[in-house]
Amino acid sequence: MISVTLIGAGNVAQHLFKAFSISQKVLIHQWFNRDLKRIECYKNDVQITNNLSELNDADIFIISVSDDAIVDISKKLLFSDKLTLHTSGSINMHHLDKKNHRGVFYPLQTFTENSKLDFKDVPVCIEVERKSDYNIVKTLALELGGQTLRINSDQRAALHLAAVFVNNFTNQLFRVAHEITEAQGVDFDILKPLISETAKKIQYLSPYMAQTGPALRGDETTIKKHLELLDENMHKSIYELLTKAIKKTHGV
């Protein structure tokens, strides 16, 4: 049995707690958060605390807080020589305080509070400072049921950047589309099959080969009509920039 202490109670920590709670090989030993109200509903399932001095021994301590708080919280930990992991995609492993054995446990997925998530579809990127820690961290990741990958800090930073493009930026484009349809009284849900097919297509085609649309075709008449339909200058700028990028990529 691997004993784990969670530090932080953001969306990632909440999902990890729920996933590990049903594992036969992982025991959530304690859960720390500065605001106890955030985790008070779990007090019958795990020992909760808002005091770092009350943290007991565990096999692994997982720091799952905002990126800006990771370094500070790792410095404030009162113990040493313990395996301590963070869950960030962008923070270098060596930014953790060196008094503990450092590592990274990065689930590459978007996490939303109260949304259902199947960890079988979530790759977990692993990095450890000591080779001897790799097997226990990999075992922990495998208990979630998905793929595990050994990724260094530079690779993880690149993955995190790429994830911003495919998730955060794409979601903003969905929002722009929602505003466009809403302005004309059209139900955004009509676009959802197209969204699904677009995501499905890149499961078997490269993004380059999957590209379609007026920019790829060099259809200047349609591009001009689209720009005339856009009222927001920001939306015009986005359309023009992405059109330019597609044309450059495909030599149009």
- 56's tokens: 């007991």
Strand ranges for 89-189 from DSSP E: 101-107, 124-128, 148-150
Mean pLDDT of 57-63: 96
Q: 218: Cβ–Cβ under 8 A, 6 or more apart, which residues? A: 247, 252
For 206-235, what is each residue's pLDDT tens digit? 999 999 999 999 999 999 999 999 999 999
pLDDT digits over 174-211, tens only?
999 999 999 999 999 999 999 999 999 999 999 999 99
Fold assignment, 2-151 = Rossmann fold (3.40.50)
pLDDT in tens, 76-89: 999 999 999 999 99
Q: Using pLDDT thresholds of 50, 70 and 90, give the confidence band for residue 51.
A: very high
Dihedral of CA 5/18/166/208: which sign? positive
Taking phi over 0 as left and psi of -120 to 50 as alpha, with beta for the rest, 226 belongs to: alpha
Please state the separation of Cα 99 from the chain's center in Å: 27
Question: What's the confidence (pLDDT) of residue 16?
Answer: 94
Residue 130: what pLDDT? 95
pLDDT for residue 108: 92
* CATH code reported for the domain at 156-250: 1.10.1040.20
Q: Where in the chain is the domain with CATH 1.10.1040.20?
A: 156-250
Q: Is 32:50 a contact under the CB 8 Å cutoff? A: yes
Cα 250 from Cα 235, distance rounded (Å): 23
Percentage of the residues of the chain whose pLDDT score is greater than 90? 88
Q: Which two tokens stand for residue 164?
A: 């911003």
| Host H or E run for residue 74 | helix 67-76
Beta strands 101-107; 124-128: pairing state: antiparallel
pLDDT in tens, 154-170: 999 999 999 999 999 99
| Residue ranges of the chain assigned to CATH 3.40.50.720 | 2-151
- pLDDT band (50, 70, 90) for residue 50: very high
* pLDDT, averaged across the chain: 94
Q: What is the pLDDT of residue 186?
A: 95
Q: Give me the mean pLDDT over the 231-248 stretch.
A: 96
The Cα 4–Cα 1 span in angstroms is 10
Phi, psi for residue 113 in degrees, rounded to 5:
-60, 135
Taking the model in full, what pTM does it have? 0.87
- Beta strands 47-49; 60-63: pairing state: unpaired
218-241 b/e (C-beta count within 10 Å ≥ 16 → b): eeeeebeebeeebeeeebeebbee
As a whole number of Å, the end-to-end CA separation of the chain is 58
